[in-house]
Structure 1
Amino acid sequence: MKANDRDRPVIRPLPAMDRARQVTEALAHYVEDARLQAGDRLPAERELMAALAVGRSTIREAIRHFQALGVIETRKGSGTYLLKPVSRDTVHMPLSLDTTHQRDALLQTLEVRRGIECEAGMVAARRRTARDLAIIEEKLDEMERVHIAKGTSGPEDLAFHLAVYDATHNPLFRQLLEQMRETFERFWSHPFDRQDFARRSFPFHRTLFNAIAAQDTEAARRETLKILDVVEEDIKEMSR
């Protein structure tokens, strides 16, 4: 082994826990330890899979996290490159609340969701492309399929809203969600142990899609508010 090989930072295998989060942290450590700068290339996907002992889907989830934060980009046929340096202290920087009182945390987060999602719906209605519509409808169809089969659709509901965010073509919407993901995901993880939480909002996802398809910004805002009004009513009712 050459001396300079011994000095090179090593990406170490992970224990079984939250794989995607650990991969994200491992990559942040590597970027910091290797002193990578904007424009530097990250290890290839296959190299990361072998070094971290995780599957391709986990690596890609971590890469999507970095892309959402706007710190890396993937160039087809070339690789993944750093857009700006990150460190283990700055890569997450999550916005969070004291969740001791679930009701209060959900209501406070809902206030933020109203501001972000109403605007996201309106911007998506203005900017959506035919491809965006196809993706949103695909997520909506899956959400409806699962909802009809199981009576609930947590992850599928979240995927629908993420597709609307992406249709804005403004990366800050997705970045804000990534920074608040842990808090936001509480809405899709059956708060108060109620499988029927926000179930009444189900039909309004289709009408929101219709508004975005019609490029009707005011209708998109109105249908988003209908969804979130149901969420607020259920928080108050189910937390009694």
Structure 2
Amino acid sequence: MADRAAAVLTEEISSGRWPVGSKLPTEVALVEQLGVSRTVVREAISMLRNAGLVESRQGSGVFVLKPQTAPLDLSVDESFSPGIKAKVLQIVEVRRAVEAEAAGLAAERADEADLAGIGEALAAIDAAVEAGGDGVDEDLAFHRAIADASGNPVLAETVRYLGEVMRTGIQVTRANEARREDFVEQVRDEHAAIAAAIRARDPRAASEAARTHLVGADRRLQDADDRFWARASDPTA
């Protein structure tokens, strides 16, 4: 829902209905306009902010920025199942490059607080799944904790940005993994291996563990049948 709300708001900006320098409607007005909750509106605004389309000014509101370059389109088109499959697999390739580097740097630079945060984020994934959730937010938080531990704020912000704009793709990835218990166990083991290598201060092993995790995600997605991708392309089905 946040993806769709962000798409509507982006269209309002790109069409010129909200010109550069203009102030976006209030949160209450956007809730009424979009027919969604305040949480969804806030997530959508966050996506626009990460894409460089708007900025928040304390005490004043949210304002449209002059575009510097065309925003990078990492969203997933849910209207066509072959399209969604190709895009999700491309997202996995991007994650493999970025998150492998983040894990390696985290193994070199993480302090005790960072290690504790990674451990807590890892445990939160299992807790969310056991409670019947999809674990998407917790999965994102785990990888953000690793990126934060890299000691590179630019890399951390990149992982945070990618997580927001690629949320739908990660949802599809986790939905696929939830289909089979062996997939669930593989993902749990892969996450644990990344965390263990970081705790062991082994950059090469940490990078390799992160890369192995994303290679596994690719393999598991390739295993999904057409019925899965049809459901992924139509979440209401």
Deviation at 1:154, TM superposition (A): 4.9
Q: Distance in 1 between matches of 2:173 and 2:110?
A: 26
Kindly tell me: are residues 102 and 63 of structure 1, through their superposed partners in 2, closer, same or farther at Cα, counting changes over 3 Å?
closer
Structure 2 match to 1:70: 52
**Secondary structure of the structure 2 residue equivalent to 1:42:** coil
Is the 8 Å Cα contact of residues 47 and 164 (structure 2) preserved in structure 1?
yes
Kindly tell me: are residues 169 and 192 of structure 1, through their superposed partners in 2, closer, same or farther at Cα, counting changes over 3 Å?
same
Is the 8 Å Cα contact of residues 176 and 221 (structure 2) preserved in structure 1?
no
From 195, 204, 208, give the equivalent of 1:222. Answer: 208
Structure 2 match to 1:93: 73
Q: Distance in 2 between matches of 1:219 and 1:27?
A: 42
Deviation at 1:118, TM superposition (A): 0.6
Is the 8 Å Cα contact of residues 31 and 41 (structure 2) preserved in structure 1?
yes
Residues 132-211 of structure 1 mapped to structure 2, 5 A cutoff: 136-148=118-130, 153-165=135-147, 168-170=152-154, 171-190=157-176, 193-209=179-195, 211=197
Deviation at 1:133, TM superposition (A): 6.1
**Secondary structure of the structure 1 residue equivalent to 2:56:** strand
Kindly tell me: are residues 147 and 53 of structure 1, through their superposed partners in 2, closer, same or farther at Cα, counting changes over 3 Å?
closer
Deviation at 1:208, TM superposition (A): 2.9
Select the structure that is richer in helix: 2
Is the 8 Å Cα contact of residues 152 and 195 (structure 1) preserved in structure 2?
no
Unpaired runs of at least 5, structure 2: 226-237
Q: Distance in 2 between matches of 1:236 and 1:192?
A: 14
Q: Distance in 2 between matches of 1:182 and 1:93?
A: 13
Kindly tell me: are residues 166 and 188 of structure 1, through their superposed partners in 2, closer, same or farther at Cα, counting changes over 3 Å?
farther
From 10, 27, 37, give the equivalent of 1:45. Answer: 27
**Secondary structure of the structure 1 residue equivalent to 2:48:** helix
CA RMSD of superposed structures (Å): 4.3
Deviation at 1:62, TM superposition (A): 0.3
Kindly tell me: are residues 100 and 36 of structure 1, through their superposed partners in 2, closer, same or farther at Cα, counting changes over 3 Å?
closer
Deviation at 1:59, TM superposition (A): 0.7
Q: Distance in 2 between matches of 1:235 and 1:22?
A: 24
**Secondary structure of the structure 1 residue equivalent to 2:23:** coil
* Total equivalences in the alignment: 217
Unpaired runs of at least 5, structure 1: 1-18
**TM (normalized to structure 2)?**
0.64
Is the 8 Å Cα contact of residues 212 and 220 (structure 1) preserved in structure 2?
yes
Structure 2 match to 1:36: 19
Deviations 1:146-193 (A, max 9, x none): 345669745532442344456653233344455554444321112594
Is the 8 Å Cα contact of residues 190 and 209 (structure 2) preserved in structure 1?
yes
Structure with the bigger RCO (C-alpha within 8 Å, sep 6+) is 2
Deviation at 1:30, TM superposition (A): 3.1
Q: Distance in 1 between matches of 2:221 and 2:43?
A: 30
Considering only CA atoms, is the larger Rg found in Structure 1 or Structure 2?
A: 1
